[in-house]
Structure 1
Amino acid sequence: MYTIIHAIIGYFFLLLTVRVLSRRPGAQLTLFEFVIVFLIGGVIILSTVGNDRSVTNCVTAIIAVGLMHRFVTWLKARSPKLGEIIDGTPLVLLKNGEYQVEVMRGMRIDPEDIMAAGRTKGITSIHEIKYAILERNGAISIIKAQS
C-alpha cells in the first residue's frame, strides 16, 4: 500500500514540476526537456520501488533536477552557443524542391517524412515546397513555394 501512495505522491509532484519547468505542449518539447522529464520520472520510480522509499529524498532529488534545469536554461539564455549545443539548430532538409541528402542522411529522415509533413499543409507535390526545415523539437516545418 505504501508503494501505491508513494507513486501517487510522485505522480502529482512530477506533474507540478513539469508544469513549472515548461509551458509547451509535449509535441514541442526539445530533447533537453524530454531528458529532464525522463530523469525526474526515473527518480520517482526508484524512490517508489527501490530500497530508499523516503518521500523527502524523492522530493529533494526532483527539486535538485528542477533547479539544474532552470540553471542550464538560464545559461542557454546567456550563451546562444550553449543553447545550440544542448538543443541543436534547425536544419534545412529540402530547399527549392531539392532534397539536402547529406543532412537527411545524417538525421535519418526519409523523403516520405517530409511529404507526410507537407500533406498536413495540403501539399501533394515536392515542387509545392520551398523549404522543409527540421526544427529543434524534431518537427518538420514546411514553407510553401509561391504559386
Structure 2
Amino acid sequence: MNRIFDTSLRTLIGFAVLLILTRLIGKKQLGQLTFFTYITGIAMGNIAGDMVVHRDIKVIDGVVALSIWALLTIILELISLKSSKARTLLDGEPSIIIKRGVIMQKELASQRLNIDDLTMLLRNNNIFSIQDVDYAILEPNGQLSVLRKPILESVTKKDMQIQPDNRIYLPTEIIVDGKLVEKNLKELNLNNEWLKQQLKQAGFNSIKEVFFAELQSDGSLYISKNELL
C-alpha cells in the first residue's frame, strides 16, 4: 500500500513540476519544434519519468534537475532572442532545396534528404510535380515551405490566360532585430547604398531604427519600425 502511495505521490509531483516548467519555457516547445527543443522535451520527460519509477532517486533531486534544465533552456532562448548567431547555432538556418525550379542537389545531400523525401514533403504541401515549384525551402523544424511558379500561384490567372508578372526576387530578410543581414544583401546583388536610399525614402536615417525589413518579390521593401528605441 505504501508503495502505491509513494508512486502516486511521485507521479503527481513530477506531473505538476513538468507542467509548470514547460509553461515557463513557453509555447515554442510545440509551435516551433526544432532539433534543440525536441531534445529538450525528451530530456525533461526522461528526468521526470526516472524520478517517478526509480525510488533510489530522491524526489528533490529530480525536481532540481528538471528546474536546472528548464532554466538553462530559458537562458539559451533569451540569448537567441538577442543574437542572430545564437539562433543559428541553436535552431539552424533555412536551406533552399529548389531554386528557380532547379533541385539543389548539394544542399539536398547536405540535409541528408533524397529525392523520395523531397517529393513526400512536396505532397504534404499538395504539390505532386516538382516542375510546379519555383522555390522550396527546408525550415529548421524540418517543414518544407514551397513557393509555386508564378503562373500557378492563382488559378484565375491560368484559367483566364493572363500572363503573370515575373518575380524579380524571392522575398528575403534584409534587416533582422536592427541588424543588417549582409549575406542576404550580397546574394541579391544589392549594396549598402541601395539600402540606405530605400530607408531614407521611407523616413529612416539608420538601420538601427528598423526592427525588420524584407525585400519583396517586386523589388519593394517592407519595413517594420523598431519600437524599442
- Classify the TM-score, shorter chain: 0.7 to 0.9
Q: Aligned partner of 2:43: which letter?
A: L
Q: What RMSD, in angstroms, separates the aligned Cα atoms of the two structures?
A: 2.0
> For the structure 1 residues 27 and 65, does the alpha-carbon distance in structure 2 shift closer, same or farther, using more than 3 Å as the test?
same
Pairs within 5 Å for 1:40-119: 40-119=44-123
Which of 140, 144, 147 matches 2:148? 144
Q: CA deviation at 1:4?
A: 4.2
Q: Distance in 2 between matches of 1:36 and 1:94?
A: 31
Relative distance call for 1:25 and 1:127 in structure 2 (3 A) is farther
AA aligned opposite 1:97: G
SS at match of 2:27: coil
Which residue identity lines up with residue 109 of structure 1 in the other structure? Answer: L
Unaligned regions of 5+ residues in structure 1, if any? none
Identity of aligned residues (%): 26
How far 1:75 moved relative to its partner? 1.1
Larger Rg: 2
Match of residue 17 from structure 1? 21
- Measured after TM superposition, the shift of residue 110 of structure 1 is 1.9
How far, CA to CA, are the matches of 1:105 and 1:73 in structure 2? Answer: 29
**Which residue does 2:38 correspond to in 1?**
34
SS at match of 2:147: strand
Higher relative contact order (CA 8 A, sep 6+): 1
CA distance in 2, matches of 1:131, 1:18: 35
Runs of 4+ in 1 over 6 A off after TM superposition: none
Q: 1:123 — aligned with what?
A: 127
Secondary structure of the residue that 2:150 maps to in structure 1?
A: coil
How many residues are paired up? 147
Q: After alignment, is 65-74 or 49-58 more displaced? A: 49-58
Deviations 1:47-105 (A, max 9, x none): 22335443222222211111111111111122211210111000011112211111111
More helix by percentage: 1
Q: Residue 82 of structure 1: SS of its match in structure 2?
A: helix
**Structure 1 25/58 Cα, relative in aligned 2: closer, same or farther at 3 Å?**
closer
Structure 2: distance between partners of 1:107 and 1:47: 36
Q: 1:52, 1:125 → 2: CA distance?
A: 57
Q: TM-score, normalised by structure 1?
A: 0.86
Q: Does structure 1 conserve the Cα–Cα contact (< 8 Å) formed by 2:29 and 2:41?
A: no
Does the 8 A contact of 2:29 with 2:37 survive in 1? no
Structure 2 distance, partners of 1:85, 1:25, is 17
Distance in 2 between residues matched to 1:116 and 1:60, nearest whole Å: 43
